[in-house]
Structures are given as C-alpha cells and as structure tokens.
Amino acid sequence: MPERSRKKRPVDLNKLAASIVNDVTEPEPTVDEVRALARLLGSRGGKKGGPARAAKLSAKQRSESARKAARARWRDRAK
C-alpha cells in the first residue's frame, strides 16, 4: 500500500497547539474556488501539452489523429 503524505507536526507543544488551531480555524475553500483552480490548471496543461504532442507526432500520425477526431465529432450527426 502506498505511503500517504502527512503533514509534519512540530515537536514543541506550543508550536503543535498553534498549528492545530490554525488547521481548525483555516477556512475551507468553496466549491467555486476549487473549480476555478482546477480550470486554471487544466487550461495551463492543455496549452503546453497539445503543441508538445503535435511536435512529437509525424505528419501521418497527426493526419490520422485529426481524421479520427472528425469521425468522432460527426458520428452522432450522421444518424
């Protein structure tokens, strides 16, 4: 089973108490904040990943990938 990352707790009792109070009183992010951050991270990865992947593919592979995507887009419209 993989090890879970754990927050290191201070050994000093005063620092430990302060960290526990901070953990309890720290506000949880709202759903909208979490979604905004996820959207930001997703778009950041897409901006880097798409061009990097296209640069690695040959012209024939890019063409086949585009053909497959077009088939998938038009699949439901043909019915």
For 48-76, the pLDDT digits (tens) are: 887 888 899 999 999 999 999 999 999 88
What's the pLDDT score for residue 8?
82
Dihedral through CA 55, CA 60, CA 66, CA 68, nearest 10? -130
For 16-41, the pLDDT digits (tens) are: 999 889 889 988 889 999 898 888 88
pLDDT category at 78 given cuts 50, 70, 90 is: low
Q: Which of 70, 72, 67 is nearest to 57 (CA)?
A: 67
**How far apart (Å, rounded) are the C-alpha atoms in residues 67 and 55?**
17
What's the pLDDT score for residue 79?
62
> What spatial distance separates the first Cα and last Cα of the chain, rounded to whole Å?
48
